[in-house]
């Protein structure tokens, strides 16, 4: 038995798939014979990889300008022996490379970098650091991972556990910096200045005897020359009354003060701005910030937060010093003696502290 098919049957849908992707415009005239139709991919904006790549930067400062919101790749940047020192010194001095990208990104990958200072704007996704050594990195991101790294200092604000793997001599610091528009950029990518899980670093390949990482309660310090380079590029590391990211103090206080405010989850910046006002008042009163927490109450066991009542969001301050001089226009509450026991359980849950 044989079957016959008309050529029209095979050709019937041949042009329909193309027509689905063809870009139609209002009042568009039909193309003349021989004129190629235009499709959606013909009208896509051309992407230049150079807008999202930094590579081969050696012993100089680069403030990278590019399109915010996209990925960023930084690779093969190092310090080299500076020629100005070759004749003057027995051992020529190495000058670090400094790379700044003060825009928000979707993801950052740092590969094969040596003796670099890298300052990043907020990242909506992950920052990956691989095969790098003797670097200093300042970043706020949703997740951080290092692999095959040695002697890296990381100033970080991260709402999830930073992760290291096959890495050693990694030192974490609470991020303490500011530059114009940083606050708005953090808000745009969903990062909150009062949430930082830097104390909860997870090591996938722990060493026996000596930890692969430490978490410092002191701020990250730069050399005077490096600090000046950052300052020229609008990045400030030193404390000022206008700070909106808490600067934590390493100190022992057996009787800290716990202050908190409650509010709605949205808009995010409404409760956050109230917390920043309190932060400024705390600094003005001469008090010290030991820790802060910004949490959605729906994600917590209700027995841990009886004081939160029906609020959707809680921002908690752990402070040292006297409340006598604290003057603030924002209403806040203090943890009572009755709520101290559930609070301690809450802090254990939030900190999730791990050893190196």
CATH number for the domain harbouring residue 192: 2.160.20.70
- The model carries a pTM of 0.80
Cβ burial, residue 256 (10 Å; 0-12/13-18/19+): middle
**CA nearest to 182, candidates 228, 123, 227:** 123
Handedness of CA 129, 130, 132, 133 (dihedral sign): positive
60 and 165 housed in the same domain: yes
Q: How far is CA 17 from CA 10, 11, 21, 340, in A?
A: 13, 12, 7, 66
DSSP structural state of residue 342: H
252 in any annotated domain: no
Cα–Cα dist 131/113, whole Å? 7
Q: Which two tokens stand for residue 349?
A: 């849950």
Comparing C-alpha atoms, which of 254, 219, 213 is closest to residue 354?
213
Query: Is 306 part of any domain?
Result: yes
The DSSP secondary structure of 266-307, one letter per residue, reads: SSHHHHHHHHHHHHHHHHHTT-EEEEEEEEEGGGS-GGG-GG
Rounded CA-CA distance 213/193 in Å is: 23
Residue 68 contacts residue 105 (beta carbons within 8 Å) = yes
Q: What is the pLDDT of residue 257?
A: 92
Q: How many domains is the chain partitioned into structurally? A: 3
The boundaries of the domain holding residue 33 are 7-43
Q: Which two tokens stand for residue 203?
A: 């090591």
Q: Do 158 and 127 have their domain in common? A: yes
Contacts (Cβ under 8 Å, ≥6 apart) of 37: 18, 22, 31
DSSP SS3 for 346: helix
Binding site for GTP, residues?
125-126, 142-145
Q: Which uninterrupted H or E stretch holds 104?
A: none
Rounded CA separation 261/66 (Å): 38
Half-sphere exposure of residue 304, counting CA atoms within 13 Å on the CB side?
Answer: 15
The reply to whether 341 and 308 lie within a common domain is yes
- Give yes or no: residues 110 and 218 share one domain: yes
DSSP H/E element including 133: strand 133-147
What is the DSSP-derived secondary structure letter of residue 193? Answer: T
By CB neighbour count within 10 A (0-12 exposed, 13-18 middle, 19+ buried), where does 112 fall?
middle
| Residue 241 maps to a domain | no
The enclosing domain of 308 has a CATH number of 3.30.70
Regarding whether 275 and 341 lie in a shared domain, the answer is yes
Residues 219 and 82 in one domain: yes
Digitized pLDDT (tens) for each residue of the chain, 356 residues in all:
455 544 444 455 545 544 554 545 555 555 565 666 666 656 666 667 788 899 999 989 999 987 888 999 999 999 875 544 444 445 555 678 999 999 999 999 999 999 999 999 999 999 999 999 999 999 999 999 999 999 999 999 999 999 999 999 999 999 999 999 999 999 999 999 999 999 889 999 998 888 999 999 888 999 999 999 999 999 999 988 889 999 988 767 778 899 999 999 888 889 999 999 999 999 999 999 999 999 898 888 888 888 887 899 999 999 999 999 999 999 999 998 888 888 888 888 887 644 33
In a domain, 88, yes or no: yes
Question: What phi, psi does 282 have (nearest 5°)?
Answer: -65, -45
The answer to whether residue 134 is domain-embedded is yes
Closest CA to 128 of 74, 79, 166: 74
Examine the domain organization and report whether 58 and 36 are in the same domain: no
Instruction: Please report, in range form, the residues annotated as the binding site.
Output: 125-126, 142-145
Task: Report pLDDT for 304.
Answer: 84
Do residue 60 and residue 179 come from a single domain? yes
């Amino acid at each position: 038995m044989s079957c016959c098919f008309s050529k029209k049957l095979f050709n019937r849908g041949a042009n329909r798939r193309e027509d689905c992707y063809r870009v139609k415009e209002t009042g568009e005239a039909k193309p003349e014979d021989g004129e190629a139709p235009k499709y959606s991919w013909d009208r896509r904006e051309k992407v230049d990889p150079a807008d999202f790549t930094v590579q081969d930067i050696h012993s100089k400062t680069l403030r990278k300008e590019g399109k915010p919101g996209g990925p960023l790749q930084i690779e093969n940047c190092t310090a080299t022996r500076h020629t100005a020192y070759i004749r003057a010194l027995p051992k020529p001095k190495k000058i670090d490379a400094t790379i700044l990208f003060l825009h928000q990104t979707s993801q950052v990958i740092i590969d094969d970098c040596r003796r670099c200072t890298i300052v990043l704007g907020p990242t909506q996704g992950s920052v990956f650091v691989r095969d790098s050594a003797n670097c200093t990195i300042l970043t706020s991101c949703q997740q951080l991972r290092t692999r095959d790294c040695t002697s890296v200092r990381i100033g970080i604000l991260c709402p999830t556990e930073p992760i290291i793997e096959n890495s050693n001599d990694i030192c974490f610091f609470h991020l303490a910096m500011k530059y114009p528009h940083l606050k708005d950029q953090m808000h745009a990518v969903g990062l909150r200045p009062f949430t930082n899980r830097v104390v909860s670093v997870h090591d996938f390949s722990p060493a026996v005897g000596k930890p692969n990482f430490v978490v410092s309660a002191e701020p990250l310090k730069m050399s005077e020359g490096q600090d000046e380079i950052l300052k020229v590029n609008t990045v400030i590391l030193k404390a000022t009354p206008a700070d909106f990211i808490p600067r934590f103090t390493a100190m022992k206080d057996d009787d800290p003060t716990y202050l908190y405010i409650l509010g709605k989850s949205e808009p995010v910046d409404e409760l956050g701005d109230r917390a920043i006002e309190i932060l400024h008042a705390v600094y003005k009163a001469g008090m010290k910030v030991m820790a802060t927490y910004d949490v959605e109450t729906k994600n917590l066991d209700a027995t841990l937060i009886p004081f939160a009542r029906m609020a959707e969001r809680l921002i908690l301050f752990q402070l040292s010093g006297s409340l006598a001089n604290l003057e603030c226009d924002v209403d806040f509450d203090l943890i009572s003696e009755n709520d101290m026991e559930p609070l301690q359980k809450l802090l254990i849950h939030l900190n999730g502290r791990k050893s190196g």
